[in-house]
A = this chain, B = another copy of it.
């Protein structure tokens, strides 16, 4: 009988999973809080609140395994579902990744380099943390942050009041500011049988704290790749993780500092659809359904360009021989990830394509950093 995969969350990650899973013969059921979540265009959707355990129980009856398209699934829901059906990644792994303190404590326990950090639960804690961590630093909510949301930069002690006014009242973490040279991410996958693999590293670029471009394989990363892979493997084994996750890293002085993990397929891995033998979406599904993992070898060089808010002209990308278009089927909204493009080919072909696209799309600020990295 066909295996049915349940996905909590019906955004573009669920959508790309369902598309990748069709060739494996998998069927899907999606849960989302809105009926027109974009994954509903490719798989049946149950509209329900994730805390509605009656709905979750009905959902569990229709699926063989459950996974997630976002990390902020309520822990109680994940645990509830896990009593009824296999849930991957497991709820404990999800819980660790949901809390920046638990996550950083794990990183430190596993010997990963991290920024200095301290828990902040009061205005007094913040004062003490600024002393112990040092300034400049970044105050963050421990939970529910993404794309730079729930963060406040503390440059000097004079910023502490404003930082507390902005974020105080929920559990916080103060992290020392790392003057890194570049941001790198590693996408890793671990199977039910413990098989482990990583894709080539991505070098990431941001605009307004949202990923704007990724280059993979990250140029000149041979020296740091084994560090990233070792970090990811330690995390995967510590958490008995099953599925894909991303680890975001800062590169500095030839070393890597662990910033945060995302317990799911990740935006900086979207290039794997065209640029790797097996995509992160397919391998996540292979992992959670107990199939052998596929090869993570790259096919040429890939540059991902994120479309935030609204889509640019599709034809400009589609008429490029090395351009691939991804429209998530969402309506435009400021700050929303509505699609991406991947340029994939030999490095010189990718660079020439990006040069043309920067002009055709009038997006020099988004594309120039990736192009510079490619040519470095």
On A, residues with C-beta under 8 Å from B are: 2, 15, 18-19, 22-25, 27, 41-43, 273, 277, 286, 291-292, 294-295, 297, 299, 311, 314-315, 318-319, 321-322, 324-329, 339
Contact = CB atoms under 8 A, between A and B. Distances in A.
A22 B42 contact: yes
Given A42-B43, A291-B314, A23 B322 contact: no
A327 B23 contact: yes
Contacts of A299: 299
B19 A15 contact: no
A321 B339 contact: no
A325 B295 CA distance: 13
A25 B292 contact: no
Nearest to A329: B25
Given A299-B299, A318-B286, A318-B292, A327 B277 contact: no
Nearest to A23: B326
A327 to B, nearest CB: 3
A329 B18 CA distance: 13
A295 B321 contact: yes
Contacts of A42: 18-19, 22, 42-43
Contacts of A24: 314, 325, 327
B322 A277 contact: yes
Nearest to A41: B27
A265 to B, nearest CB: 15
A26 to B, nearest CB: 8
Contacts of A319: 292
10 contacts: A19-B19, A19-B23, A22-B42, A23-B325, A23-B326, A25-B314, A25-B325, A27-B41, A291-B314, A294-B321
Nearest to A296: B321
Nearest to A339: B25
